[in-house]
Structure 1
């Protein structure tokens, strides 16, 4: 049996977003115990030229929802206002994205390997097949932002480990 585009995307996003939500729970508990303002944690960066924690989570969510829509040939949802201020707000964002991608069925996404996906990057069109888009653009970006969010919490002192990042395997 071959691996379909649905199996390579939606369940992957669901599992990793679930793990990210649990990491946020631990981050929230840590912030409360250490009396750290969640807004400060949300503004934390690994290095000055990288985006802060809150944006890392928002972008990971955006890659999951945008790529699901593109692979299904559906309209990409309008961008969010990115107004999340607390880890609880970010958990609500993750829950909303989880609910959105749960609505996609395998028959909408399977077979999208050859579907043309056109992105505009720095004003220039980038044409990819669905397979190229998922495997070489959407998933790497999604994991980059999930990993960076995890790393920011870890370097801040939140007691999380590899099992937390991986979630339920």
Structure 2
């Protein structure tokens, strides 16, 4: 059987994988905080620069963008989460699990064939126009990677011994 690259294949499996990787990075951070006797809030509120979101905010944005993608590609409204309760590592794991579940709920049949379908997304005060493929490959995937990389960098900057393989979900994730 020959695999083909479809809009579904280019988005949904990778987004789920990115959520798995994000969870791995956070678990490394939580374990490191426990091992070093550091209050978890030190990591959860840390940021790379004063004008950037802290770790919790980075996770919230990564999950928000990731979960919206398949719904927008399918032409449906993405679920909205109440991000007020994300104050612990366990809260972030629950957010990631909910995101994975919502991403997985959109089917291949709902997405494939919609590569050229045009739609608008309101981003703050501005509305942007996309096609399915430009939204997935030009907006969603780069943004999710950016915010997950920032989580990785925040933890790394705070002494968590993360390596490149951890970004990909750990050594066992690559097979």
Q: What is the TM-score normalised by the length of structure 1? A: 0.94
**Which residue matches 1:86?**
88
Q: Which runs of 5+ in 1 are unaligned?
A: none
**Which residue matches 1:13?**
15
**Which residue matches 2:103?**
101
- The CA distance in 1 between the partners of 2:29 and 2:23, in whole Å, is 10
Structure 1 window deviating more from structure 2 (113-122 vs 41-50): it is 113-122
Cα deviations by residue, 1:104-144 (Å, 9 ceiling, x for unpaired):
21111111211222012342221111111111111111110
CA contact (8 A) 1:117 1:133 kept: no
CA contact (8 A) 1:41 1:53 kept: yes
Cα deviations by residue, 1:16-42 (Å, 9 ceiling, x for unpaired):
110111111111111111121111211
Cα deviations by residue, 1:64-98 (Å, 9 ceiling, x for unpaired):
11111101112211242342111121011101111
Q: CA-atom RMSD, angstroms?
A: 1.3
Structure 1 window deviating more from structure 2 (6-15 vs 76-85): it is 76-85
Q: What is the TM-score normalised by the length of structure 2? A: 0.91
- The CA distance in 2 between the partners of 1:91 and 1:26, in whole Å, is 12
Return closer, same or farther for 1:101/1:117 CA change in 2, 3 Å cut-off.
same
- Structure 1 residue matching 2:149: 3-state secondary structure: helix
Q: Which residue of 110, 113, 119 maps to 2:112? A: 110
**Which residue matches 1:136?**
138
1:29 aligns with 2:44: no
Q: Which residue of 146, 151, 160 maps to 2:153? A: 151
